[in-house]
């Protein structure tokens, strides 16, 4: 009898993790603190109370290695978690590679991506503290969809500032949010001060995540019983996403294997950090020193590959605390590529620090080559992935081809962060050969960096 390799590895509900993993407990040196933009001094928990609930603020600054997942959150997670791990057998065959390719499929959640892993948790902690409304930004609409879904579960109102180009490119994401009861606005808008100022300077702007964050933060700060919810970047968001990697470790234990390479798309970094950080702990403690962890980003927004590692605002208007991260500059407005969720000027401070210290690597691609990879993936594995996720697919394919060239039997896994059912117009543009590539000019990056806040060397080092 032929022993066929497993195509899908599924955990039982009772095997879903009961705790999130906090990588701050295992850092070799502490994370650089967020700074008050006026005083340039570290901020404390009280400085964040205006827009975040204390339950999330405590997670943001915690050094506890494992943090309990509330049972009410786990109850909602059970709608789609644990998520399956697939082996891409047909893709391997098409590539004629000796490598094994796996992908953790997060497209099974109600909103269709990894985003509700944090949205449900954030809505829960806000509900517990009596908040009535959440406001947020969204790029491609996946985070906005997730928060709309989570807000409905906990009977909260939800307002979403959706980046203008994505609002126009992805009407079905808007409809999905509205179906869960959210109010969705094309950003920049005329209802916030920063939105009006940006429109005055550039009425035809395509918008950006930095602009939408400014509008959402201003909205939350100026309305009672309203809090802000962020879909990536911050430590507590990364924490919630580690349920992906914790499940993935269990699934590889069932297989009796361990990945040689982990890759995933990165905009703000939460999905990839959540996938890789539980494995990265093994590298930090010297258990798996040769593990390769690779972030994948668009050349139109190359924060990790072309940005500078320094303090910057998380938003365009300069309303947020200063974060130490890789950044293209908060004034950056990216080209209107289809991977709207990757159009962010900065990255997670945790992911940035670990990249700077050499524990993680980064690569960047043009959008046509990622759609080429996503098309091959759809024609072999069947799943149509989001444009953001397509970057991870491109990297996995290239790594598998490298294994073929070197005759290496490596184990590759990538975070398959969401489906592309609402992105078919992008695929149509690719197949009709109307898609264009963009690369962010070095001179513009240099000009943006000149506008960054100056921090004293004792803090900036």
Structural domains of the chain, ranges and CATH numbers in brackets: 70-112+238-460 (3.40.50.1100)
**pLDDT per position as a tens digit, 273-295:** 999 999 999 999 999 999 999 99
Q: What is the mean pLDDT of the chain?
A: 92
The pLDDT assigned to 459 comes to 44
Q: Per-residue pLDDT for 420 more than 90?
A: yes
Closest CA to 143 of 230, 59, 239: 230
- Reported for 250-257, long-range contacts at CB under 8 A and 24+ positions apart, including other chains, are 250/11, 250/15, 251/9, 251/11, 251/85, 251/104, 252/85, 252/413, 254/9, 255/6, 255/9, 257/100, 257/411
What is the pTM (predicted TM-score) of this model?
0.93
Confidence band for 461, pLDDT divided at 50, 70 and 90: very low
Which tokens is 378 given?
A: 């759809």
According to DSSP, the β-strands at 261-265 and 322-327 are unpaired
Place of tokens 């126009």: 168
Average pLDDT rounded to a whole number, residues 85-89:
98
Q: What's the confidence (pLDDT) of residue 393?
A: 98
Confidence of residue 460 (pLDDT cuts 50, 70, 90): very low
Per-residue pLDDT at 340 = 60
Q: Is 99's pLDDT higher than 90?
A: yes
Highest mean pLDDT among 54-68, 217-231, 333-347: 54-68
Confidence of residue 10 (pLDDT cuts 50, 70, 90): very high
Mean pLDDT of 244-249: 98
Q: With contact defined as beta carbons under 8 Å apart, do 306 and 440 qualify? A: yes
Distance CA 383, CA 108 (A): 11
Q: N- to C-terminal Cα distance for the chain? A: 62
Strand-pair partners of 262: 293, 413
What is the rounded average pLDDT of the residues 129-156? 94
CB 146 within 8 A of CB 115: yes
Cα distance between residue 275 and residue 277, in whole Å: 6
pLDDT band at 147, cuts 50/70/90?
A: very high
């Amino acid at each position: 009898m032929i022993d066929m390799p497993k195509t899908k590895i599924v955990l039982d509900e009772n095997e879903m993790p009961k705790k999130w993993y906090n990588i701050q407990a295992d850092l070799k040196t502490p994370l650089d603190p967020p700074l008050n933009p006026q005083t340039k001094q570290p901020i404390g928990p009280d400085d964040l109370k205006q827009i975040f609930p204390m339950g999330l603020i405590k997670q943001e600054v915690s050094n506890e290695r494992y943090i309990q997942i509330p049972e009410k959150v786990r109850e909602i997670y059970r709608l789609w978690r644990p998520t399956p791990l697939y082996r891409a057998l047909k893709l391997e065959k098409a590539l004629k590679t000796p490598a094994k390719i796996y992908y953790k499929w997060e497209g099974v959640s109600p909103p269709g991506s990894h985003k509700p892993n944090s949205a449900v948790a954030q809505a829960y902690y806000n509900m517990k503290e009596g908040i009535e409304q959440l406001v947020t930004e969204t790029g491609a609409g996946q985070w906005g969809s997730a928060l709309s879904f989570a807000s409905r579960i906990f009977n909260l109102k939800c307002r979403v500032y959706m980046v203008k180009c994505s609002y126009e490119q992805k009407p079905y994401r808007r409809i999905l949010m509205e179906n869960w009861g959210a109010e969705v606005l094309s950003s920049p808008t005329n209802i916030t001060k920063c939105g009006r100022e940006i429109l005055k300077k550039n009425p035809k702007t395509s918008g950006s995540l930095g602009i939408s964050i400014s509008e959402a933060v201003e909205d939350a700060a100026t309305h009672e019983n309203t809090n802000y919810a962020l879909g990536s970047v911050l430590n507590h968001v990364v924490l919630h996403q580690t349920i992906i990697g914790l499940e993935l470790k269990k699934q590889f234990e069932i297989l009796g294997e361990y990945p040689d390479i982990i890759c995933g798309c990165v905009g703000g970094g939460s999905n990839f950090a959540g996938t890789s950080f539980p494995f990265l702990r093994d590298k930090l403690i010297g258990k798996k020193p040769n593990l390769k962890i690779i972030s994948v980003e668009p050349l139109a927004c190359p924060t990790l590959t072309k940005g500078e590692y320094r303090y910057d605002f998380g938003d365009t208007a300069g309303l947020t605390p200063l974060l130490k991260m890789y950044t293209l500059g908060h004034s950056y407005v990216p080209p209107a590529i289809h991977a709207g969720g990757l159009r962010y000027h900065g990255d997670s401070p945790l992911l940035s620090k670990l990249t700077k210290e050499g524990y993680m690597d980064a690569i960047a691609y043009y959008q046509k080559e990622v759609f080429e990879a996503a098309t091959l993936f759809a024609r072999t594995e069947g799943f149509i992935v989001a444009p953001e996720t397509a970057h991870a697919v491109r990297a996995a394919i290239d790594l598998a081809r490298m294994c073929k060239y070197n005759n290496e039997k490596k184990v590759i896994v990538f975070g398959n962060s969401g489906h592309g059912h609402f992105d078919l117009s992008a695929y149509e543009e690719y197949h009709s050969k109307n898609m264009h590539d963009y690369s962010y000019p070095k001179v513009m990056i240099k000009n943006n960096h000149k506008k960054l806040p100056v921090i004293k060397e004792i803090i900036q080092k």
